[in-house]
Amino acid sequence: MIALAPGVVMAHLHRMQIDTSTRRDLAGIGWMLVTGLCFVAVNGIVRGLEGALPAAQAAFIRFLFGLAFLMPVILSALRQGFPADVWRLFILRGILHVAAVIAWFYAMSRITVAEVTAIGFLNPIMVTIGAAIFMGEKLAARRIAAIAVALLGALVVLRPGLRPLDPGHLSQVMAAVCFGTSYLLAKLLADRVPATVVVAMMSLTVSIGLAPLALADWVPPTAEQVAWLGLVAIFATAGHYTMTRAFAAAPMTVTQPVTFLQLVWASMLGVFVFGEPVDGWVLLGGAMMILAISYITWREARLRSRMQTPPVGATKS
């Protein structure tokens, strides 16, 4: 047998670790690309409904469909049970998501698809900040500066003081903060339970939370409206599942920037389907966010590469 030197073996192991990390990153990016397409489809359908139903009711019907799709997973998960701390995370995420989806449905009926999408870029910014505060992820000075640029981009989109803000703008800001916090909880849950269970339990808790709000202001829906909301449920449920898979496959600093491609798709949808004007300020603000978070991703990848690649002489005995 040919004996390999320890240095050669260690170098080979390091290359294997880098290759595995790269494959996981690519898988996470792929899952997040599918997530973005699903959520753009959701935006288009809800925008097409034009607020015909109250926000809480439309969200409730959408989640009822999702609940029906995921009932087998829910029943199996409930039979197995969860630790008390996991239940607390499920309930907290449900509360946050109830507030987020109501605010989002309302915003979609008031402002353009591009504006909703651009303001929604606050989601990953909130996730990045929350990951640093609650999960111990480091925020170096350059990453803090990039986050500041991204937040400035959000102000460019909103332009407070330069134009009257519609209630839909403020509603979408609230939705973005709540969604971002909810996604952070999804990351924590993905480390404890399977991705399908994370999505299924969200549908259960949100449906329960929306029920009294929807029934308090119920408007009889048409069959066509129910059918469209059923389609929303399909795309949204698939989007939440693929997003959770992305979180499980790769770090959030890798997967989150991919969501910014939604701005391009949403702008095209608004222009070609709904005849909405192209707002240069929205595109500029969105571009600032994209560049800032892309820089964070690039910086994170370089730091991981340095940690994984052994320095010169490290394998010498």
Q: Supply the pLDDT for residue 219.
A: 92
Q: Supply the pLDDT for residue 273.
A: 84
Instruction: Give the residue carrying structure tokens 């066509």.
Output: 224
Q: Supply the pLDDT for residue 17.
A: 55
Spatial separation of the C-alpha atoms in residues 44 and 113, rounded to whole Å = 8
Domain extent listing, the chain: 29-308
Q: Supply the pLDDT for residue 6.
A: 57
Q: Supply the pLDDT for residue 103.
A: 93
pTM of the model: 0.73
- Helix (H), strand (E), coil (C) string for 274-313: CCCCCCHHHHHHHHHHHHHHHHHHHHHHHHHHHHHCCCCC
Where helices occur in 52-110 by DSSP H, the ranges are: 55-80, 84-108
b/e string for 142-154 if b means 16 or more Cβ within 10 A? ebeebbeebeebb
User: Which of the four pLDDT bands, split at 50, 70 and 90, describes residue 46?
Assistant: confident
pLDDT digits (tens, 9 = 90+) for 78-121: 998 899 999 999 999 999 999 998 999 899 888 888 888 888 88
